[in-house]
Every structure is written in C-alpha cells, then in structure tokens.
Structure 1
C-alpha cells in the first residue's frame, strides 16, 4: 500500500525505520502491516488527505530538531535528494564518516567532543543513533590519519565507546558529490560489516577487500586455489605474509608487529616462495598474493 502512495505523491520516500533527523518539510507515516515508514512532502498533502492518512497510518511525532540550518541542509541533500547547500564556487568538500560501537551513545556529548578536535568549525550530521558524517571544507582540513587515531583513542577513554572513521576523498562541491558520498557510505558499511572494528578506513584500504568479495566464485577459486591451500596447511604462514604485505614489505616493521626475529620472518617468506613459486619482492607477485590473502580471510569468516 505504501508503494502505491509513492506513485501518488511525488518526491515521497520509504524508510525501514524512523528517521533520526526528520525534515520539517515532510509528514512521516508508519504502516504496522508493512513495518515501514513513508515520508510525504507537506506541500503535496491537503488537510483532508492528511486526516485520511492519519486514520490509516500512525503519524510520526518528532521533537524539534537541535540541528542547525546547515546541518539540516546537508542531511536533506545527502539522504532526501534535496538541492545541494549553497557554497562559494570552487569549494572542495571532504566527508569523514564515523561509526560508534558501544552500548550508551550520547550524541550531544560525542558531537561536542568531535568538534573540539577540529581547529575550525565543522558540520556534523547524524545518519543514525551511532553513525554520522563530518563535513569539512578544503580550508578547514587539518586532521591527519594519525590525529584521527588519537581522537578515536580519546573518545574510547572518555566515553567507553570505540569509534571507526572512514576518511573520504576531497571533491569539488557539485551535483556529483552526493553520488560520491553514497559510494563512500557503501564502502564504509562494507568495512564495518566485513573487516572488523578497525579505527581508520580509507578507499585504498577497503576497495581491494570489496573487490575480492564481489568477484564471481569461479574467479575466486581459479585465482587463489594454490595459495589458499598453503594458507590452509599453515595458518601462521597466512598471518605472516598478510602483515608483511600490509606493511609495504618492510621486514623490520613486520617482525616487530609479529613479535618475531627478522630471521624467523625471512625463513617463513622463503618457505612461502618455495611452496608457491611466487616472489613477494615483485609488485605483481605481491598483488596476487595479497588478493589471495583477502579471499582466504573472507572464506574463513563465512
């Protein structure tokens, strides 16, 4: 029934749950039979139609949002397909998405703490009770990856929650930036679901695993069978090789992270090369083996 309303009311939207930051331009109705919400523009509903809809569905009751006009503008642009916010021409924007893992998330306190880390004023909008987006202009970008890690550690210490960040790309504000954000949002959701609760995610870190996950089954099997067999026989070999490649084939750093001697590391690498015939010093060899590591890891989690 709600889907029939979509065809009757232009620019209406369906939601699986009550929106965290509702638009004041919409009425929100809940269908118990379909367990879904629909948002209908207020300008499209007459008083008579509103009364009829209220008789059929539950009308959502919202408290007045504390979000600023800029925050509401960004939320409606990113999630409700509204026009983009007004900025000067040649403005560059970066989105830093964050996800909070914890039982008691106080949005007001966490938002205040997040803003305190930035030297300039930033916009923070909430996608849900535990996920949000920091919107930065080019002139405001000041936090490095290391500083975001420090921020996550501070929030964990102060609020007993773990925070993961996805650092988006810097993009010119245009009609296309919403599409780019939605792609970054998809990568971040994939990372949280499949890659664990790491502190920092970027496109470069997520996309190889995302690509491996979406490969056809035949290609997964064909491209990694022999290497995966080596990893199955020796799980320690897998963890060693993966950490080695993730650390840019730096033996000293890898040995330190694995708490082993460099000679032990070199022995395992030589043993892997002997079994597979693939050298890790060559870019193509390293790429092939890293892809096999991702496929093996995904298979172990399934």
Structure 2
C-alpha cells in the first residue's frame, strides 16, 4: 500500500528497511504488514492528510535534533548561544551567506539540494525557519562571485517560483566573535529586506548607507539639503533618475538601460537637476550628499 503513495507524493522515498538517520523534515510511515517504510517531506502533507495517513499506517517518531544540520553544533552556536562547534582547523575562515525565500511553501529538501548544487556539496546549510537559512562556507570552498549569486537567485526563482534574496557576509575567523559578526549581518539583512525592496543580492556596502540614514537623529536629518528633497517631492521622476544614476556609479549607459530611456533624455534630466540644485553629481562630495538625500527621501516616502 505504501507504494501507492509514491504516485501521490512525488518527493517521497520507499525503504525496505527502517531508514537510518532520517531527517526531521520528513514524516516516516511504516506498514508493519509488509515491513516497508516511506519518508514524505512534511511540506507536502497537510494536517488532514497526516491524520488520514496515521489511521492507516504507523507514524515513526524521528528523534533528531531541532535542525537537520545540528550534528556539528553550528545551529546551536549561531542561533541558540551554544558553544563554538568543533572543527578540524582553529585557523579556518568562514563566510556566512544568508538567504530568504519570499514564501515558506517551497520544499526545503529540494531547495537545499539546489543550493548545494550551485555551491559545493561540502557547504553546510542550516534553516532558521521555513523560509530563511544560512549557507556556511569555509574560505577554501568559496567559488561564487556576486554576479554568479545573482544569476543563481534568478534561476532558483524560475525553478521554484519563489524569489530568493541573499546577503553575502564578510570573511570572519573561526572564533566566538563569529556569532556576534553573524548577528550584525543578520540585522543588516533583515533591514535590507524590509527597506530596500527585497533585492536579489545584499551586502554590507549596499545596506549600510540606508541603515545609517535610517538611524540618523532627527536633528541631522533636517539638516540634509532640503532643496534636494523638495525637488524630489515635486518631481518623483527626477528622484528615480538621480538615485539609479548614482547606484550605477554614474554610468549613463547602464542608467538609461535600466530606466528604458535614451541617453540624451537621461543627460537632460541630470543637467536639469544640477541646474536647479547647484550640485555636481560627478564630484564625490556632491554625489554623497545627494545620495544621502535620496535615501532619506525614500525612507520618508515609504
């Protein structure tokens, strides 16, 4: 009878012996009459279906740790204030890449398998909840650039129909301080997801300017060039043009492409901004001041 479930639950696996070290992300059901076991992803089974299955088959209790990746202690260390996990090399350096899916309906097992396919099989993945997790890479395993991570995010979105955002952490030595570094990056990631439009890729450099602007005292916010903010308020198109121009490192071709406008139209808008404000965007100090004004205007608008 368990074999019939294979056609209903496509991600299930049939065993002739009780599976060893089963994942706590799976329901394990046993048919004593035929001495068969089947594992079904918990995300594939509704509460009503589970009640029905339990009346027909025996549900095997899986005694594993709170997270499938806790055998080496990383889950307890990063998320539960546990001790530093054991590791062969005390001089190891790690990069923690956080990810968040736009929905918790995706199959965690399939998602984890896909992630390991893009990274390496040796990376460790732990889950904070149904939609958020952490990829732990040792420095010697790092192979993906920021551009490749963007491409991977787009591929996952296409395959799983959920948007996946990544926060690329810095390289940190293997020490107790790693937990505090992770928690700071965790704060930046959460801030970026909420305040920066949920982009594919976030880094410290991308998040911190907005993070800083958000935490400026109200007194300092009022001292930022109000003429610029008033111009943005009166002309939202000018705001989007200037912000995207600055975000693209003053590259006119990339900016025009993103805005779907001609380069001459872009140049006209930039010249108009400089004429009205008296601020040159090609000057570092001018660009910094205007970008800060963009962030404050955006936060106030939202």
- TM-score interval (norm. to shorter): 0.7 to 0.9
RMSD over aligned Cα, in angstroms?
A: 1.7
Partner of 1:290: 291
Partner of 1:77: 77
Partner of 2:214: 213
TM-superposed deviation, 1:224: 3.5
Using the size of structure 1 for normalisation, the TM-score is: 0.76
Q: Report if the CA contact (8 A) 1:92-1:171 is conserved.
A: yes
Partner of 2:143: 142
Q: Report if the CA contact (8 A) 1:166-1:200 is conserved.
A: yes
Task: Single out whichever of 278-287 and 103-112 deviates more from structure 2.
Answer: 103-112
Separation in 2 of the partners of 1:70 and 1:144?
29
TM-superposed deviation, 1:63: 5.5
Separation in 1 of the partners of 2:135 and 2:220?
38
Separation in 2 of the partners of 1:211 and 1:133?
25
Q: Report if the CA contact (8 A) 2:165-2:201 is conserved.
A: yes
Q: How far does the alpha carbon of each residue in 1:194-219 deviate from its partner, in whole angstroms, 9 at most, with x for none?
A: 11221000000000001111111121
TM-superposed deviation, 1:150: 1.7
Matching of residues 46-61 of structure 1 within 5 Å? none
TM-superposed deviation, 1:283: 0.3
Partner of 1:201: 202
Partner of 2:86: 86
Q: Which runs of 5+ in 2 are unaligned?
A: 1-23, 25-60
Task: Report how many aligned residue pairs link the two structures.
Answer: 241
After superposition, the Cα gap between the structure-2 partners of 1:68 and 1:227, relative to the gap in structure 1 and judged at 3 Å, is: closer
Using the size of structure 2 for normalisation, the TM-score is: 0.76
Task: Single out whichever of 76-85 and 243-252 deviates more from structure 2.
Answer: 76-85
1:161 aligns with 2:145: no
Partner of 1:269: 270
Task: Single out whichever of 130-139 and 267-276 deviates more from structure 2.
Answer: 267-276
Separation in 1 of the partners of 2:256 and 2:159?
33
Task: Single out whichever of 199-208 and 256-265 deviates more from structure 2.
Answer: 256-265
